[in-house]
A and B are shown apart, each in its own frame.
Chain A
Amino acid sequence: MRVWWTTAYYELVKISRMRSVLAILIGMPLLLILLLGSAFDTEIKQAKVVVFNADQGDMKASIDTFWQEADLGLYIEVLQAKSANDVQDWVREGLADYGVSIPSAFSEKVRSGNAAEWLTFEGRYAEKNIAAEAAVNRYMSSVNLQLAAIRLMGAEQAAEAFGQAGTSASNEAAIAVHNLGMGNSRIFGETTAIQYYSATYLIMFLLYGGMTAVISLINQRESGTLHRLYAIPSSFRIIVFGIVFGACMLAALQAIVVILFTTYVYDVNWGGHYGAIALICLLATAAGVGLAITVASFVHNKKSTQTMFSIIVLSMTFLSGGMVTGIENMVGGANKLTINHWASSTLRAIMNGSSQTEVWQGIGVLSLIALGLLIVAVVRLPKVVKRHA
């Protein structure tokens, strides 16, 4: 027991001296979570509409008021351009998502009863175009209604009718909108983007923890120091286990830092149940170690182990939807074969307060995977730690 503890302790000391490794292991997940979480957060981002109103006629004031009111709404933000060319340039350069240019003769044409037009410039993003177009259409239909009334009823009667209609107009909502989804967004299920990526990248980096352990073993084997430990009157397996355990403690530290940092700095709600979360982290780390030892037992040298393991972990993350969300539905169930899927979906289940059975089911599958990998790892371990096995 003491031997095991000593090896584990010195392993930790060794790791703590590699400052840059530590910074990457802890800084990288936090950075990725921040970047992806804020890029894909589901808060509605307003469409920026650049407007240039060249009209000098009697409708100028009403048009300006219309855009001021639109700016107050939730969906668009209005920017004022200095010239008609600016409008196009801003849209082309991406400073604005949509451009509207109102020609100088607009009021005049409307007054004389001719067809009058606004020029609009669609930007790159369909949904922002839709938002801007909805605003433009609102103005157009109200003007068209007035013009139709004037034409059919005569100017005086129309004005009178508008006066009456104005008084009877209610503020009642015109349509009923029902949101059927539970959470904010379909792609992230019931969690927010930052919760989703916190779970995903915590798991990915815990799996990498397994690689740290194996690299340490291989380094010691290649430099020959591992075999000198046979001289110690104690079980060799215990020592190897100590080295692996040291790396697992690093993973635990990583998990604690990531969870605390995301909770207090990014405001991520992990859903309480810290016991279950710790269990999932432990199982993911165990599975990572098992996988890394298995990989190392087949490819032997350090560089190939690193490459192979990285490829496996990155593709598992990709398949389980950690990089492009929604990919898990397109791969025909291959996502269910990954460790990441079971670990992160169970973490997400905890976050959104799903039933206990769902959580424990996930943990069950995860522990089966971890157990399986660990058994293979124990069988293959001699290939990794012995020089001429």
Chain B
Amino acid sequence: MPSLHIAAQLIRRTMGSRRGVIMNVVLPALILSLMAGLLTGLNANKAIIVVNNADQGSYGAYLTSEQGQMPYYGILKDTKLSENELKELVLAGKADAAIYVPSDFSSQLLDGVRSKPVVYQMNEQLWNASLAAMLSAEVDRIYESAELARSSETSEVDPTLLTALLQAQAVPVVSAVNKEMKLGQIVSSPMMIGLILMFLMLLVSQSIGFVMEDRETRVMARMYTAPLRSMDIAFGNFMGSMLVGTIQLVIFLVLLYHVFGYSPGISFGSLLLVLECFLFAAVGLSSATAGLVRNSNQLSQINNLIIIPSCLVSGCFFPLSMLPDFMQKLANFTPQKWAIQAIDQLGGGGSYSDIGWQLLILLLFAAVLITFGSVVLRPNRTS
């Protein structure tokens, strides 16, 4: 079992010293806990919309009743604020949007004149553009109802017919029913898992860096004086890198589940399984990178160039859907994307059979990259 000794040495070198513990365990844990704190503060902030229905008549109420049904907005209704005060609220950032229904809305409606409700917002975004579109559809509907209730002879609106029409619509015949689908939370808020993936990659690249150093200084070549086969050395180094990652992974996950109380809705074991598969791919990626450069110094630099941008592209820090389409396709070539997707599926109640495809891709990544990188893990002629 000479490989075990080689692996143990690798662990000692990455995590054995005070510096190693601080850099590889304490600092990442600190950053994760900071993020956990920030994320709980950021979560669940619905857009706040202040509505003032200043309408003197009764029809304005039909307009504002609809908005209250949307689960995504936090609606403050029937404030007695003037139009200017609403505007100030939005400007001060206390409300995300404000809706003001003018006092003559009903009376103008009966006359067939449009008195426009007003929306205040800071700038156009998808959610508030949609809010405005919805409000404008509602206004159109009320005007259309009024036009229907207008008699063709007298051009007068029959108020009882109009009220009846509006009330009939308040109990809709056709409607959209939302079918609850269990979706994972990870793809849409990947920060915690994404950080763990990044730290794992950094750590693995560091331990591969040590192997590289051994090769440069010919320590690896000297190992042959002990009765060792090149397979033993390669396997020992590979196992060491995996173990280093696993130790860090277990520490992170224990912190995550038991100290921060963060739960992605997945059992400890299945998360560990997916991340172990990812670890394989990460060791592969790192050793393949090592094969491209000449010394360990260059390796650490080139790793920065690979790890951080690939984490950004693969949706580790923000949802993938924010990126332009071509970058989303590019993300398919990063192992992080598949790990995040697998965890997301599991979090949405998926079973292992659902994520078979993702795990297979991760292992394929590992197989291909390790083949490239196996040169590094074995003693060889130093170039």
A interface residue numbers (CB < 8 A to B): 20-21, 23-24, 27-28, 31-32, 35-36, 38-40, 42, 44-47, 74-75, 88, 91-92, 94, 97, 100, 106, 110, 113-131, 133-138, 140-145, 147-149, 151-153, 158, 161-162, 164-165, 168-170, 172-181, 183-186, 304, 307, 311, 324, 327, 330
Contacts and interface: CB of A to CB of B under 8 A. Distances in A.
6 contacts: A45-B126, A119-B176, A126-B46, A137-B66, A178-B120, A179-B122
Nearest to A148: B168
A225 to B, nearest CB: 19
Contacts of A173: 116, 136
The majority secondary structure among interface residues of chain A is helix
B90 interface: yes
Please give me the 8 A-B residue pairs with the lowest Cβ-Cβ distance, nearest first: A148-B168, A181-B122, A165-B147, A174-B139, A127-B127, A181-B123, A124-B188, A174-B136
Nearest to B127: A127
Nearest to B135: A175
Contacts of B134: 133-134, 137-138
Contacts of A311: 27
Contacts of B308: 32
B119 interface: yes
A137 B298 contact: no
A94 B187 contact: yes
Given A116-B174, A145-B148, A174-B135, 9 more contacts: A28-B304, A92-B183, A114-B173, A151-B168, A158-B148, A161-B148, A174-B116, A174-B143, A180-B90
A330 to B, nearest CB: 7
Contacts of B309: 31-32, 35
A183 B123 contact: yes
A144 B174 contact: yes
A74 B348 CA distance: 31
Contacts, number: 260
B8 to A, nearest CB: 24
B140 interface: yes
Chain B, interface size category, equals: 35 or more
B273 interface: no
B168 A164 contact: no
A117 B175 contact: yes
Nearest to A47: B126
Interface string B141-163: 10111011010100000000100
Contact of A142 (B90, B124, B141, B168): B141
B176 A44 contact: no
A177 to B, nearest CB: 5
Contacts of A75: 126, 129-130, 133
Contacts of B291: none
A152 B168 contact: yes
Interface of B: 19, 23, 27, 38, 41, 46, 66, 70, 72, 87, 90-91, 93, 112, 114, 116-127, 129-141, 143-145, 147-148, 150, 152, 161, 164-165, 168-169, 172-179, 181, 183, 185, 187-188, 293, 298, 301-302, 304-305, 308-309, 312-313, 318-324, 327, 341, 345, 348
Contacts of B323: 38-39
Contacts of B118: 175-178
Contacts of A149: 145, 148, 165
Contact of B70 (A31, A117, A130, A176): A130
Contacts of B116: 173-176
B16 to A, nearest CB: 16
Contact of A127 (B93, B126, B148): B126
Contacts of B46: 126
A136 B187 contact: no
Nearest to B182: A92
B123 A35 contact: no
Contacts of B120: 178, 180
B181 A168 contact: no
A327 to B, nearest CB: 8
A27 B144 contact: no
Most buried by A among B41, B137, B183: B137
Nearest to B320: A94
Contacts of A185: 123, 125
A113 B173 contact: yes
B148 A179 contact: no
Contacts of B179: 119-121
Contacts of B298: 20
B165 A176 contact: no
B136 to A, nearest CB: 4
A117 B179 CA distance: 11
Nearest to A162: B148
A169 B147 CA distance: 9
B290 to A, nearest CB: 14
